[in-house]
């Protein structure tokens, strides 16, 4: 955990702190890149939650848990080794029944950084903030303000906090985690992929060949995939297909990422785009219950390691781009 005095001395913003903390974990963590390169072990990226839970969940109340959004969703999924998808801050945990002993023990368990901004309403006539209590007590007046366009939504500067997985706070008095079904649980991976392409607005063309390479050709807006029958299993094929599909969201008519189709292997630009594609494919596979496969070649991992060491903002930016790619593919649905 980054000490407050260190933060003040370094004069870092919340996004900069998030970049440093997350990058440190991905490079030097137990399942990080350095260990994967040195010992040939699998790099972590994602261990996954139970099949029905498509994203890490934020504890809002004893019985209300909402999915994290954006980069926080991806980073928590990447770094957590827990089976429970719910995360909670220390103060909220105390409010919901965490014992003094469990709270004291939090210094010995893994914490996770999340970066966020708060948004709150301002009365344009009075220029004062509108409190949640006032909104609850005056629903009719609140609706009138909104109908008359008298509300301005102000966003705070990015902030950060540390959260913990609920498994590490056994005294918490939370409702049981509800059983959640996948959006298309009765579909096979092949049917899911076909339906995603069918429903995706402005989808790229997909062709198969007898070659040995999978790639996205930006000039023709075409994904080229190896014949599915040449893969060892269906999951391996669709994990690869989603990787290339995320690349395709970088096209000018979609998310318009400049590194797509313009960078050489080993360059920082190449590594950044590959990171976006890997993270996006990882989350898509998790949403659909597909076991992910990743490229663990040392050359591939070294390209990421070099890029992350040279630019600590890379991971922070890549997670946001990956989330935008997922929204583009799924039509903005937060499944």
Task: Report the predicted TM-score, pTM, of the whole model to 2 decimal places.
Answer: 0.62
| Three-point CA angle 294, 298, 301, nearest 5° | 60
Query: Would you say 309 and 27 are in contact if contact means Cβ atoms under 8 Å apart?
Result: yes
Lowest mean pLDDT among 5-14, 16-25, 68-77, 260-269: 5-14
pLDDT tens string 31-52: 677 776 777 655 554 444 444 4
Cα-only R_g, the chain: 22
For the chain, give the mean pLDDT: 78
Helix (H/G/I), strand (E/B), else coil: 165: strand
Q: What is the pLDDT of residue 48?
A: 41
Q: What is the pLDDT of residue 328?
A: 92
SS3 content of the chain, % helix, strand, coil (to 5): 45, 15, 40
Query: Would you say 77 and 46 are in contact if contact means Cβ atoms under 8 Å apart?
Result: yes
Query: Would you say 130 and 122 are in contact if contact means Cβ atoms under 8 Å apart?
Result: yes
**Per-residue pLDDT at 178 exceeds 50:** yes
**Per-residue pLDDT at 191 exceeds 80:** no
The H-assigned helical ranges of the chain are: 4-10, 14-28, 33-39, 70-79, 90-95, 100-105, 132-137, 139-147, 189-199, 234-248, 268-288, 298-310, 314-329
Q: What is the pLDDT of residue 204?
A: 93
Q: Which of the listed ranges 31-40, 258-267, 275-284 does the model predict with the highest average pLDDT?
A: 275-284
Helix (H/G/I), strand (E/B), else coil: 87: strand
């Amino acid at each position: 955990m980054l000490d407050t005095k260190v933060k003040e001395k370094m004069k870092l913003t919340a996004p900069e702190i998030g970049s440093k903390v997350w990058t440190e974990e991905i490079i030097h963590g137990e399942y990080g890149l350095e260990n994967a390169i040195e010992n040939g072990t699998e790099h972590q990226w994602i261990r996954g939650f139970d099949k029905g839970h498509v994203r890490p969940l934020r504890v809002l109340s004893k019985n209300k848990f909402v999915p994290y959004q954006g980069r926080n969703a991806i980073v928590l999924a990447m770094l957590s080794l827990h089976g429970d998808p719910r995360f909670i801050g220390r103060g909220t945990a105390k409010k919901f029944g965490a014992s003094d002993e469990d709270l004291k023990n939090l210094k010995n368990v893994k914490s996770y950084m999340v970066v966020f901004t708060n948004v709150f309403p301002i009365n344009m006539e009075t220029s004062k903030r509108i409190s949640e209590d006032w909104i609850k007590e005056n629903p009719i007046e609140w609706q009138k303000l909104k109908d008359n366009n008298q509300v301005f939504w102000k966003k705070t500067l990015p902030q950060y906090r540390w959260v913990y997985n609920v498994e590490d706070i056994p005294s918490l008095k939370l409702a049981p985690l509800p059983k959640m079904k996948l959006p298309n649980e009765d579909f096979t991976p092949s049917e899911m992929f076909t339906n995603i392409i069918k429903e995706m607005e402005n989808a790229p063309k997909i062709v198969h060949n007898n070659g040995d390479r999978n790639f996205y050709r930006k000039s023709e807006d075409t994904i080229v995939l190896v014949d599915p029958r040449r893969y060892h299993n269906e999951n391996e094929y669709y994990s690869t297909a989603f990787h290339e599909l995320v690349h395709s969201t970088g096209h000018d008519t979609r998310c318009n990422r400049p590194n797509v189709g313009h960078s050489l292997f080993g360059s920082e630009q190449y590594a950044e785009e590959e990171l976006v594609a890997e993270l996006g494919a990882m989350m898509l596979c998790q949403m659909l219950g597909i076991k992910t496969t990743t490229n663990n070649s040392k050359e591939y991992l070294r390209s990421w390691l070099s890029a992350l060491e040279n630019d600590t903002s890379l991971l922070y930016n890549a997670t946001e781009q990956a989330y935008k790619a997922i929204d583009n593919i799924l039509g903005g649905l937060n499944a």
